[in-house]
Structure 1
């Protein structure tokens, strides 16, 4: 694994576009590029000929070797729309060590967007912030990607997660193939995020949820602090109590198990990411789900 995939190292690269390219270049160096679909390759993969296929894409060399007809899938046949959904509510200001959840989400989204762009995909951005929804429609051109990076760089968490909206209308597009990537800490006051995920799952798009949590949250490690304050409600809780910490650990495991069951039941790909964790696994998960959505 490249050190450049470490989020703490990435924080030293202030240019988000450069950071994204650095992450993906380091990641791709460890992959067999012939397994990766997208722009920059002569073709992405072979598949068996089907009646009605354009004969211009027949590979006659493969036919000579195997006596079977194969079609070369081109970039345009494998391009999809990838929409990034970012939780930008105030809880994403939670800090663990040197970085916040928003920092981690920002660099993660930028790297995934660059990877999608390399594969010829359209990319879009939706940010749930302060009860409102910012949207940047999906496009494929480099100028649009630069706009997406600009919005990510300037996105600052505020307020609560967006309440009821017409999610079905927002995320129902004309494209047949679409991948939705939701980056969030899953912190909610009611069931606003759960309702959003249920609506998105019902649309039958491929959906990935990257759940960001800090090591201090997972291990209840707040050395030197006796109380914690909720970033969105201002409520405080006493943590200087052994029994409280024990019950917290039990409750956390039950909470995470419940989330996994919920995601499994809705056929949503779910990955818990620690803020001190390399972006390597997230990039692999994204690539696998992206290729599932085009088959």
Structure 2
């Protein structure tokens, strides 16, 4: 059976691949298939991507063919000049266990797919990668490194993750700061529920040493539109509370509250200079890879 490039990035297809190493390679291969790649610069200098030309840069890296065709200035970026540390910080609290009827996997599994694919891509780009996963305690920690098998160590750690406990963002993220020694990029992945006030302030701390942070919010479709059409009992998986209601009567108020929450979250992250990407667990993983690729390119051009 032939699998299209679009299918290679579909979460339903990727979730069916139980081997995380295979899954991440398949997704990244599908994503990279659409990106121009060249190996013509010489020994040890692999062409990776384009970025906007900045005044004062060496003109020998300017792509004159692109300039002639588009009248735009782009510089070629090579692996030797782009190595950096990439830290994955993953929320594994109980709320990440949720999986609605329209999703092929839970929010945590989808988050792991996204993190695995970005880690695979980052490693191919020559970056050092590491993992920090928490809820009310630290569950997995893999120090950053670029040695052989580093991505596999991260993927094996993700396989062991199980959603549990209440997210203790403040204590755990402040603890993680002690591991954050050198300049790099933090990829923070969480549903961020009820974190609109605390998370922007905490993630701003990762802006030290001119480092960057990309916050990826993972939601299930059900959390956006309450699709149930009969009396439903809703459980709070973290504090064990529950509410029984008819969704049709609560939907308008719920959507208004959800909209307010998302707006405050986005505003807070923007004020903290943290890039933000919202994903629903049915979205193509290519969206997250493209966002990371764009974020990385802009980071390198600063």
Query: How far off is 1:133 after superposition?
Result: 5.6
What corresponds to 2:13 in structure 1?
Answer: 9
What corresponds to 1:105 in structure 2?
Answer: 111
- Relative to the length of structure 1, the TM-score reads 0.83
Q: Secondary structure at the match of 2:253?
A: helix
Judged with a 3 Å threshold, the aligned counterparts in structure 2 of structure 1 residues 34 and 292 are, in CA distance, closer, same or farther, namely farther
What corresponds to 1:139 in structure 2?
Answer: 145
Query: How far off is 1:145 after superposition?
Result: 1.5
- Relative to the length of structure 2, the TM-score reads 0.81
What corresponds to 2:68 in structure 1?
Answer: none
CA contact (8 A) 1:206 1:289 kept: no
2: distance between equivalents of 1:271 and 1:226? 30
What corresponds to 1:250 in structure 2?
Answer: 256
Judged with a 3 Å threshold, the aligned counterparts in structure 2 of structure 1 residues 210 and 40 are, in CA distance, closer, same or farther, namely farther
Gaps of 5+ in 1: 63-70
Judged with a 3 Å threshold, the aligned counterparts in structure 2 of structure 1 residues 230 and 148 are, in CA distance, closer, same or farther, namely same
Judged with a 3 Å threshold, the aligned counterparts in structure 2 of structure 1 residues 247 and 286 are, in CA distance, closer, same or farther, namely same
2: distance between equivalents of 1:228 and 1:199? 35
Runs of 4+ displaced beyond 6 Å: 45-51
What corresponds to 1:233 in structure 2?
Answer: 239
2: distance between equivalents of 1:182 and 1:15? 23
1: distance between equivalents of 2:164 and 2:22? 26
Quote the RMSD (CA, aligned, Å): 3.2
What corresponds to 2:25 in structure 1?
Answer: 21
Query: How far off is 1:189 after superposition?
Result: 7.1
Query: How far off is 1:243 after superposition?
Result: 3.4
Listed one character per residue, the Cα deviations across residues 117-149 of structure 1 (whole Å, up to 9, x for unaligned) are: 111100000101233363211100232221111
What corresponds to 1:164 in structure 2?
Answer: 171
2: distance between equivalents of 1:151 and 1:128? 12
Aligned length: 278
What corresponds to 1:67 in structure 2?
Answer: none
What corresponds to 2:71 in structure 1?
Answer: none
Q: Secondary structure at the match of 2:300?
A: coil
With 231-240 and 111-120 compared, the bigger mean Cα shift is at: 231-240
CA contact (8 A) 2:200 2:265 kept: no
Gaps of 5+ in 2: 65-74
CA contact (8 A) 2:177 2:206 kept: no
CA contact (8 A) 2:266 2:276 kept: yes
What corresponds to 1:173 in structure 2?
Answer: 181
Listed one character per residue, the Cα deviations across residues 22-46 of structure 1 (whole Å, up to 9, x for unaligned) are: 00111111122259xxx98634479
